[in-house]
Amino acid sequence: MNQHAAVIGSGIGGLASAIRLAAKGYRVSVFEQAPKTGGKINELCLQGFRFDTGPSLFTFPALVDELFTLCGENPLDYFGYRPVKTSCKYFWEDGTVVNAWQQSADFAAEIEKVTGVDAEKVIAYLEESEKLYDLTGEAFLFHSLHKLSNFANPVFHKTIINSLKLDPFRTMHKRNSQWFGHPKVVQLFDRYATYNGSSPYKTPATLRMIAHLEHNMGTFFPEKGMYDMVKKLTALAERQGVEFHFNSRVEKVETGSGSVTGIMVNGEKTPFDLVVSDVDIVNFYRKLLPEIKLPEKQLSLERSSSAVIFYWGINRRFPELELHNILFSGDYTEEFNHLFNTKTLSSDPTVYLFISSKLVKGDAPDGSENWYAMINAPENVGQAWDALLAKARSNIIDKIKRTLKVDIEPHIVCEAVADPRTIERDTGSYHGSLYGLSSNNMMAAFNRHPNFHKKIKNLFFAGGSVHPGGGIPLCLASAKIVDKEIPALK
């Protein structure tokens, strides 16, 4: 009989792990506390509007396609997506607007036209970000950093030999300031630190490789929205024989003689040969493996940011807006000071507007748009969130009014809200941090929890709170690392 594997949690990392295990010949059972799959990638339907409630940016689609090909299927037959013409549209209150066109040459030309920064500087920056990715991407994203034997792999040799080229001793902001000089262009490229919940004033300049994923490799969007990716991967898993158990909260991981023996659900113990956890690593230790001490660094190091999100049904259209839009703060430094030092919200936040109805027909009624209006927020440490949310709503509406010259309030016909408390409650993210630990230090990649347990055999970890980090591509990469640790049965 095939060995039986349990996957705890069906976020994107858990789904990918289940598919990979099934493709290797394992019998796989997924246990999900919620009534459906997805984790942070979810959806909300409200008065004729549909909202993707979690991650909204889709890069590195090959990692999704690979899951279909592993199972002998053509991804084009099941999951459709397309490139977007602009990865983002950037707005400042003084009327400056920059379109981040999909083609890097067009994007560079746009920056030169709007700001006067030489297009060649932008092209050179993107080329440099590609080189950084080439030096580190394979090693850091698709291999464990917690196994000494991996450092004998040739992919690590290139990284180690060129370690000084990784620019780890300067912050992203300092490097961007030296490269561009122009404050608006610096702010635009500083924004990439937020892609893993970090600060450009703290995270190392190595992380500017993120720009490569968006501008060189491209930005895409699923034909039916972000949650459709979850639906299609869930269906793929089911075609591979994966069994899903919903509304099934795992209470404990059972161990014995230094190995996993099974799990406990609803007071009943079920034996398993191996377990993959897609649960936030802090909550995993505290709730599912309480007899083992949580590694100290998981609590002592700075956590990533969270978010405040207003889901607004808007009864008019805004042709000047794109799928992804940023309305920049007038004081970026102060905004990040609030996020990571005072643990509160800036009065002048950067506002991200994601409008899937720009591309997905049916996500909003005719003549309307579905707005996902998000600001970065600190982790939940017991702030007076109700008061903060009321002020944040007012500040966001004022920001939109100053930047887009329209009062959005009369056009809001329905509303839902997410904040660090609800994110923590609904997704099990410790303190509501979206990405686990932040990358606000040069050793961040090594500080994340390994994808395996060093003392308990057949216990593995995927998802955004472990190596290599949060966000859809990195969660998929975590499942790929777990895959390498588990032998095939076929």
Task: Give the CATH fold of the 305-427 domain.
Answer: Guanine Nucleotide Dissociation Inhibitor; domain 2 (3.30.519)
CA distance 74 to 58: 19
Residue 111: what pLDDT?
98
Structure tokens of 380? 């939940």
* CATH architecture under which domain 4-42+57-82+223-301+439-485 falls: 3-Layer(bba) Sandwich (3.50)
For 29-49, what is the mean pLDDT?
97
Beta bridge partners of 461: 277
Which residue type does 247 have? N
For 315-343, what is the mean pLDDT?
98
Q: Angle at CA 126, nearest 5°, toward 122 and 130?
A: 165
CA distance 99 to 321: 10
For 432-449, what is the mean pLDDT?
91
The DSSP secondary structure of 396-447, one letter per residue, reads HHHHHHHHHS---GGGEEEEEEE-HHHHHHHH--GGG-TTSB---STTHHHH
Alpha helical stretches, state H, 296-384: 297-300, 332-337
74 CB neighbour count, 10 Å cutoff: 10
Ranking 18-27, 197-206, 239-248, 287-296 by mean pLDDT, the lowest is 287-296
For 54-75, what is the mean pLDDT?
97
Which residues in 109-148 are b (16+ Cβ under 10 Å) and which e? Answer: ebbbebbebebebbbebbebbbebbebbbbbbbbbbbbbe
Q: What is the pTM of this model?
A: 0.96
Which residue type does 206 have? T
Read off the pLDDT of residues 395-417 as tens digits, 9 standing for 90 and up: 999 999 999 999 999 999 999 99
Answer whether residue 1 shows pLDDT above 60: no
Residue 159: what pLDDT?
85
Instruction: Decide if 321 contacts 405 (C-beta within 8 A).
Output: no
Closest CA to 87 of 180, 188, 223: 188
Closest CA to 355 of 85, 55, 51, 100: 51
Owner of token pair 């600001």: 375
Q: Where does the pLDDT of residue 96 fall: very low under 50, low under 70, confident under 90, or very high at 90 and above?
A: very high
CA distance 85 to 90: 14
Structure tokens of 31? 């246990």
For 269-292, what is the mean pLDDT?
96
Burial status of residue 405 (CB atoms within 10 A of its CB: 0-12, 13-18, 19 or more): exposed
Q: Where does the pLDDT of residue 490 fall: very low under 50, low under 70, confident under 90, or very high at 90 and above?
A: low
224 to 73, 317, 375: CA distances (angstroms) = 20, 20, 25
For 205-222, what is the mean pLDDT?
94
Q: Where does the pLDDT of residue 418 fall: very low under 50, low under 70, confident under 90, or very high at 90 and above?
A: very high
Longest dimension (CA), the chain: 67
Q: Angle at CA 8, nearest 5°, toward 6 and 11?
A: 125
Sheet (strand 4-8) strand order: 243-245, 27-31, 4-8, 274-277, 459-461
> Who contacts 22 (Cβ-Cβ below 8 Å, separation ≥6)?
28, 71, 237, 240, 241, 242
464 CB neighbour count, 10 Å cutoff: 32
Read off the pLDDT of residues 125-159 as tens digits, 9 standing for 90 and up: 999 999 999 998 888 899 988 888 888 788 888 88
- The domain segmentation of the chain, as residue ranges, is 4-42+57-82+223-301+439-485, 104-217, 305-427
What integer best gives the mean pLDDT of the chain? Answer: 95
Q: Between 62-70 and 472-485, two packed helices, what is the crossing angle to 10 degrees? A: 40
Q: Where does the pLDDT of residue 2 fall: very low under 50, low under 70, confident under 90, or very high at 90 and above?
A: confident
Structure tokens of 73? 């299927």
Q: Angle at CA 307, nearest 5°, toward 317 and 322?
A: 25
For 107-124, what is the mean pLDDT?
98
For 226-249, what is the mean pLDDT?
98
Q: Where does the pLDDT of residue 296 fall: very low under 50, low under 70, confident under 90, or very high at 90 and above?
A: confident
